[in-house]
Amino acid sequence: MPIHFKGRKLERGVMGTSRSAAGFCIPTLTGAWFLHACIILGAVNATPTSQWLEKMDAVGKKLDRLHIPMDLRTCVTQVSPVGVLPQKAKLGVVIVACEEDLSVYNEIGCRDGRLHYHIYSKCGRSKAAVYDAAPHIKRCSSVTEVSSTIYTDLSWSKEHSEFLEHIIQRYYKLEDNLIFTSARMGRLDDVVSMRRAVDTALKGTWAYKSLWPTKLSVHFDQCPLSTCNVAQFGRELCALYKRYTCEADCFSCQHRNPWFDVPRLLQESRTEVSRCFFPNPLNTFIATSARIQRLPQSEYMWLRQWAQSWQEDAGGVLRRLIAERMWPVILGCPEDIHHNSTDGGCTNDMKFPSGERETPPEEMIDDGLVHSLPLHPTKHLSKPDLHTSKHPYPHLRSPKYGTYRLITFVATYATPVKVRTVLQLLKGAVGAALQFHPSARFFLLVRHDLMEELEQQLGKNVDWFAGRLEILPLPTRHPAQFGSQRSVEDLTGSFWTEAHQLELASGFLRQITPDTHDPSPNYGHIVFMPLNTVVLDHIWEAFRGRQDFTIALPAQPVPHQPLDTRIMFVHRRHIRAAEQLFSEAEEAIIAGGDGAQTFAEFIRTRLLSCLTGRQLAAAGSLPPKSKLAVQSCEPTTPTQHWQLGAEEDGEGEDETVVMETTPRASVRLLPCRLWA
């Protein structure tokens, strides 16, 4: 019986019938809720019956009457599978595993050579450990140890990156039928029986079928979790939805289906057919290679890059949740996504139309989430072999902000640290910095004589940073060369460490301030910080508007506490002035007669000598609209060319004490609301 969907005629043949099976209920505990799962044997994964086909005919006719507007200009161009190599195995089972129990697959076995398992092992589980967990399938399986990077940890795309990697790498070598699943589904065998799924997939009936029985309804203006960026979530979800369905807009429906209420949903008798989008919430599904190859290989390449992207204003988008909703439209059909009952699926002749667009959606390009060759010449991304966990995607500079939000975080490694401690500190510091500042640069300044030790500690783990950690070895002086009033014994302690940190910071500023070039486009604002610093939020406010300074120091909220110079903000407009300040401080502390001073003492006595401990505390607790009163005072040191900056209210003029007619630099105290 023919079905019409917006002028496109779908011829559906009559499939063979099968007997319905009896059902029974099994109570089971899974994760955070109880599922009293009623399993209808054979009904969920069975071959389509004439009754099911009649139901889909009715669904298709109702869709025709809805007159859903279509737009082929934004819809992806589909292709015909070509060059497919014959496969001996009839079914490929793609499993993404962490530490889950694999016994269910061990029990299914190889089915006389008709199955091949492709296991992607995450969480550091070795190939040998996987085979030990499932020895019966060793002869019919392959294991890929998945490498993690800062991008995969930040974006946490769950199993979707591995699904896409498998499709890209084996695009022309896919088995005729495939099951994609995460290993955790083995714990939900009462809801998703992998044994019956294998039996069904081997029959080759379904072009696409979700194995999770229930559905949810999607609201494009809402995000499932309160922590995500709602506007960006809806923007990306809608762009993908229109690309694969060819529908002109995204129709939102309230979340009416409690998808985890399996017993009730399996027993419901009514079927809602509407413009609502009803995807299956958990992605474990059957697909044929022919259905996968209706989209070009390049489509899955940019999808995988999108799933791992981390960009300004879009880093908080939970793309794993978008991807979970997208597989039914990437591989499915209109009849499946527009009804809410549990017996979904698509046969070979049920599919979305082909459109006119070949490049990624404009939304993804405009937001810098995928590479577009006209904008970003990254031809290497057209090579399938580079789309693996061992090859992280290069970060794109934000098309929206360019270098406006560029910040360079600089940490120092001036003293030896116990093995593995440096790695954990670096992962925490770099990960936190990029979480809130995706385009940031992160430098680690290393004492030259500690470089070999650092390389040994990092080892192959340096690949985790995906090129975002820049290690810069710099020379430092021996304590005996300081010319200080302190003894060599004193200099081997904390003062020596601080002196080396100052040397490293000063050396870094000298390297990035050549005579003829402005360093700000390449480095932006600069934040010096200890290696154990963790950024907990955006720090743009510290640099916005008229927050103009050479160096900003975090004011301490506790009275009479010494000034802490371990964290320093350098404004992008005054990097050269900061370099002069650091150089003078370095000479005064290390080489001159003021060697007894620490850098904090240098800043305090020479630049902030007018402020008492109480005033420092007041600066740290200023409300947004108040100012810090700075009393006039006479310079207490020969250094009279600095300007002391006080906190402004964002509207009025700065209150400053000018120690010379033309100051070369200014030091500002940042209240807690701007840095803490």
Predicted TM-score (pTM) of the model is: 0.81
The proportion of the chain whose per-residue pLDDT surpasses 90, expressed as a percent, equals 36
Q: DSSP letters along 11-42, please?
A: --PPPPP-----EEEEEEEETTEEEEEEEETT
Mean pLDDT of 465-494: 68
pLDDT at 643 over 70: no
Say yes or no: 353 and 430 in one domain.
no
Can you give the pLDDT at residue 478?
A: 64
Domain span holding position 456: 407-627+667-675
Strand runs (DSSP E) across 485-640, as ranges?
Answer: 525-529, 551-554, 568-570
pLDDT grade, residue 137 (50/70/90)? Answer: very high
Say yes or no: 308 and 350 in one domain.
yes
Can you give the pLDDT at residue 146?
A: 95
- Residue 440 placed within a domain: yes
Say yes or no: 367 and 452 in one domain.
no
- Residue 637 placed within a domain: no
pLDDT at 670 over 50: yes
CA distance 134 to 152: 27
- 623 versus 496: which is more confidently predicted? 496
Say yes or no: 348 and 421 in one domain.
no
Say yes or no: 72 and 123 in one domain.
yes
Can you give the pLDDT at residue 269?
A: 58
Say yes or no: 158 and 297 in one domain.
yes
- Given 354, 386, 418, the domain boundary residue is 386
At position 614, the amino acid (one-letter code) is R
Q: Which helix (H) or strand (E) holds 230?
A: helix 230-245
pLDDT grade, residue 39 (50/70/90)? Answer: very low
In the chain, how many domains are there? 2
pLDDT at 143 over 60: yes
Q: Among 130-144, 214-228, 471-485, 521-535, which stretch is predicted with the lowest mean pLDDT?
A: 471-485
CA distance 277 to 334: 9
pLDDT at 522 over 80: yes
pLDDT at 509 over 80: yes
pLDDT at 468 over 70: yes
Say yes or no: 213 and 347 in one domain.
yes
Mean pLDDT of 612-633: 40
- Per residue in 201-252, pLDDT (tens digit) is 998 889 999 998 888 888 898 887 777 888 899 999 999 999 999 999 999 8
Q: Are 164 and 283 in contact (CB under 8 A)?
A: no
CA distance 215 to 105: 26
Say yes or no: 119 and 163 in one domain.
yes
- Residue 382 placed within a domain: yes
| Residue bearing tokens 């059909």 | 333
- Residue 232 placed within a domain: yes
Say yes or no: 446 and 526 in one domain.
yes
Mean pLDDT of the chain: 76
Residue 247 DSSP SS3? strand
At position 32, the amino acid (one-letter code) is A
- Residue 657 placed within a domain: no
pLDDT at 312 over 60: yes
Residue 119 DSSP SS3? strand
pLDDT at 485 over 90: no
Can you give the pLDDT at residue 350?
A: 94
- Residue 659 placed within a domain: no
pLDDT grade, residue 542 (50/70/90)? Answer: confident
Say yes or no: 66 and 176 in one domain.
yes
- Residue 400 placed within a domain: no
Residue 341 DSSP SS3? coil
Sign of the dihedral defined by the CA atoms of residues 107, 109, 111, 116, in that order:
positive
**Of 607, 507, 589, 510, which is closest to residue 550 (Cα–Cα)?**
607
pLDDT grade, residue 83 (50/70/90)? Answer: low
Mean pLDDT of 624-640: 35
- 673 versus 6: which is more confidently predicted? 673
- 657 versus 262: which is more confidently predicted? 262
Can you give the pLDDT at residue 651?
A: 37
Sign of the dihedral defined by the CA atoms of residues 553, 555, 559, 564, in that order:
negative
- Residue 76 placed within a domain: yes
- Per residue in 566-616, pLDDT (tens digit) is 788 899 988 988 888 788 777 766 555 444 455 656 655 555 544 444 444
CATH code: domain of residue 555: 3.90.550
648-to-100, 265, 626 alpha-carbon distances in Å: 56, 60, 7
**Dihedral angle of Cα 235, 240, 246, 248, to the nearest 10 degrees:** 0
At position 671, the amino acid (one-letter code) is P
Which residues are 142's β-sheet partners? 118
Say yes or no: 157 and 16 in one domain.
yes
- 72 versus 633: which is more confidently predicted? 72
Say yes or no: 571 and 617 in one domain.
yes
